[in-house]
Amino acid sequence: MNVTALVFFVCAGTAALVYQRLKPRWRMPWLLVISAGFVVTWSWQFVLVLLVYSALNFALGQLADPAKTHARAWARAGILVNILFLFVFKYSDFYLPQFSALLSSLGALQPGSVLHLLLPVGLSFLMVQNISYLLDVVNQRLPAEKDFLRFCVYIFYFPKLLSGPVERARAFLPKLTTPLKVDRSLLERSATLIFTGLLRKLALANPLFNLIPAQAFVTPLDYPGQNLVFWLLAYTFALYNDFAGYTAIVRGVSLWFGIELSANFNLPYYARNFTEFWNRWHITLSNWLRDYIYYPLAWSLRRRFHQQDHFFNIFLPPMVTLLVSGLWHGLSWSLLVWGALHGLYLVLERLPSLGKAVVPVNKRPLWRQRLGTAVTFLFASLAWVPFRMPLPAALQYWQGLLRWSMPDFIGLARTLVGWSPVSGWSQFDLPNPILLLVLAAALLFDQLQHRAGTEEFMLNQPRWLQVLLTALLLLVATLAFFSDTTAPFVYQGF
């Protein structure tokens, strides 16, 4: 079930109404039932897989309790099990063909057939959550959860199941026990988040994705450089609005149950450097990577190489962290390059500050902050190229960005005055005006949030704008209802 579908809101709303009417002791089972029901809309087998996965991690959590013997070994085993679990399902394309061939040679499978595994929804997100749970238990930041039902709800909770936010058990579990009071104020916050999320997804992300020709990311050199530039900008904003929109919607829906999920985005393209970028982009995952990979690695290296500006101390923590981030997104060279690029950006960013005091970015002159934003945006956008397409195509895309051609202004003028028949737009080698319009809207939308200083910025807007945006959202949703194309959430693929 797609979280932008009307049926999702109707079901979630009904579930929330029932939830509010239930006695507290029945609320947890109810959350598990509706979450499992949500999973069933994808596949009933996923429920079984997730139940097994939950039971496994619950048991590992008990074994990783520091009060028990070999707790640390069990925690390590648990981490391996989680990685293995992800590998078995997510990267089955790598080993199943060979495994199928082996079975075929043994006569257990029809020759030529290949086994397939369904990837349970949100598995990558669940993996990092479970690893943090085990590490928190073994490091005594959190007692091992004794209530299996509560632990299952932590895993299954439907608003965060598909694509996060990545919630830590120590922050999330208490929210289950003591949910917020669902009053008018909370419902208004919820409405704001959902409204913003729907606008981001339906009015900005989907159009921007669809406005890029599919072949542009396959044979980029077939297109003029100026169009590639705008399509890269479109992808840059589409990806952000897609994921930020998704997060806002599920956070809004979660508030119906009195459970506040963590924020995941804070205007990442306003970041003044890459450190800030990673504090604004996919915040919950970035924080996870920071806390469970970057810091431990940095501390460990610091103990080994005492000099702060030792090459390894500067280079390894960001590089390893971002490479892991790339691998988390998928097992491919292009995603590794994406991670490596961001790792490199962070390393380069730290070089000028070696041996001298760091001036916090918000204390720098305004022009430097603005310049920093522009440079960060430029290089973050360039890094999306390998994120989006395989490496050979990415190399061509980068190359193509510099190969501009002269647009056919004469042809356009002839058509406008009626001397040539109208036969399309792409022949003029000019950027698509609809794309420019949506890009401008995306920029304006972020600017509104930037000026308001909160994700719930719609609350602060003048009434005429709220009314207009509502009507616009309904128009876009109506067109999407009749449209021939759909655009699933990108991060659901991870």
Partner 1 sequence: MVSQEQSGNTHNQPCEPTPARRQRSRSLLASLLLGACLFLGLLFVFEGLFRWTDLDRIFGWRSLGTYHGQFEIKWFELRDYVRSHGGVDVLLLGNSMVNTGIDPDVLATEYEVLTGERLRVFNFGVEGLTVAPNSHLARVLAARYHPGSIHFFTEMRDYAAGNGVEVERRLLADEWMKARLGGKETVRTWLKENSRVVQHLLFFRNWSRSDFLDSSLMLARRFADTTTSGYERDANVGKSIEIPPDPADPDEQENFKLFTNFSIDPGRLENLKSILDLHEDGTLVVITEMPVHANYFTYFGNEQAHENYLKKLVPFVEKNGGIFLPPPDWQRFPLYSRVDHHHLNAIGAVLHSRMLAQNLAVLCLDQSTCLLPAADGMASP
> In whole angstroms, how close is the CB of 478 to partner 1 at the nearest point?
6
d(CA 399, CA 225): 9
Listed ranges 59-67, 102-110, 306-314, 415-423: which one lies at the site for partner 1 (CB under 8 A): 415-423
- What is the enclosing helix (H) or strand (E) of 8? helix 6-21
Which of these, 55, 274, 74, lies nearest to 154 by C-alpha position? 55
Listed ranges 4-12, 91-99, 114-122, 286-294: which one lies at the site for partner 1 (CB under 8 A): 286-294
Q: How many residues does the chain have?
A: 494
Listed ranges 18-26, 38-46, 147-155, 260-268: which one lies at the site for partner 1 (CB under 8 A): 260-268
* Assigned token pair, 430: 């000019």
Residues in contact with partner 1, total (CB under 8 A)? 74
Question: Is 467 an interacting residue with respect to partner 1 (CB under 8 A)?
Answer: yes
> In whole angstroms, how close is the CB of 289 to partner 1 at the nearest point?
7
Site for partner 1 in 14-43 (CB under 8 A): none
> In whole angstroms, how close is the CB of 402 to partner 1 at the nearest point?
22
The amino acid occupying position 224 is: P
Question: DSSP letter at 428?
Answer: G
d(CA 45, CA 297): 38
Among 57, 82, 129, 432, binds partner 1 (CB under 8 A): 432
> In whole angstroms, how close is the CB of 228 to partner 1 at the nearest point?
13
A 10 A CB-CB count for 266 gives 18
> In whole angstroms, how close is the CB of 461 to partner 1 at the nearest point?
8
Among 5, 17, 48, 471, binds partner 1 (CB under 8 A): 471
Listed ranges 71-79, 86-94, 258-266, 329-337: which one lies at the site for partner 1 (CB under 8 A): 258-266
Question: Is 485 an interacting residue with respect to partner 1 (CB under 8 A)?
Answer: yes
d(CA 451, CA 240): 18
* Assigned token pair, 347: 């390393």
Site for partner 1 in 288-347 (CB under 8 A): 289-290, 294, 317-318, 321-322, 346
The amino acid occupying position 312 is: F
Question: Is 423 an interacting residue with respect to partner 1 (CB under 8 A)?
Answer: yes
A 10 A CB-CB count for 168 gives 22
Could you tell me if 319 and 305 are in contact, meaning their C-beta atoms sit under 8 angstroms apart?
Answer: no
Q: Phi, psi (5° rounding) for residue 174?
A: -60, -30
Cis upstream peptide for 165 (omega within 30°): yes
CB-facing half-sphere around the CA of 343: CA atoms within 13 A: 22
C-beta of 49 vs 469, nearer to partner 1: 469
Question: Is 191 an interacting residue with respect to partner 1 (CB under 8 A)?
Answer: yes
Question: Is 226 an interacting residue with respect to partner 1 (CB under 8 A)?
Answer: no
Distances (CA, A) of 183 to 179, 188, 202: 12, 9, 28
Listed ranges 1-9, 72-80, 270-278, 389-397: which one lies at the site for partner 1 (CB under 8 A): 270-278
Alpha-helix runs per DSSP H in 204-282:
206-210, 225-255, 274-280
Site for partner 1 in 85-144 (CB under 8 A): none
Question: Is 275 an interacting residue with respect to partner 1 (CB under 8 A)?
Answer: yes
Among 218, 327, 358, 413, binds partner 1 (CB under 8 A): 358
> In whole angstroms, how close is the CB of 466 to partner 1 at the nearest point?
3
C-beta of 100 vs 192, nearer to partner 1: 192
Question: Is 356 an interacting residue with respect to partner 1 (CB under 8 A)?
Answer: no
Question: DSSP letter at 293?
Answer: I
Among 160, 201, 280, 282, binds partner 1 (CB under 8 A): 280
> In whole angstroms, how close is the CB of 118 to partner 1 at the nearest point?
28
Among 207, 339, 386, 400, binds partner 1 (CB under 8 A): 207
d(CA 264, CA 61): 26
Among 72, 307, 479, 493, binds partner 1 (CB under 8 A): 479
C-beta of 41 vs 460, nearer to partner 1: 460
C-beta of 197 vs 317, nearer to partner 1: 317
Among 54, 129, 210, 254, binds partner 1 (CB under 8 A): 210
Q: Phi, psi (5° rounding) for residue 351?
A: -60, -45
Among 454, 486, 488, 493, binds partner 1 (CB under 8 A): 454
Question: Is 286 an interacting residue with respect to partner 1 (CB under 8 A)?
Answer: yes
Could you tell me if 253 and 190 are in contact, meaning their C-beta atoms sit under 8 angstroms apart?
Answer: yes
Question: Is 266 an interacting residue with respect to partner 1 (CB under 8 A)?
Answer: yes
Find the distance separating the first CA and the last CA of the chain, reported in whole Å. 17
Distances (CA, A) of 145 to 60, 73, 77, 259, 262: 11, 18, 18, 19, 21
Distances (CA, A) of 385 to 6, 86, 129, 196, 243: 33, 25, 28, 27, 17
Question: Is 425 an interacting residue with respect to partner 1 (CB under 8 A)?
Answer: yes
Question: Is 248 an interacting residue with respect to partner 1 (CB under 8 A)?
Answer: no
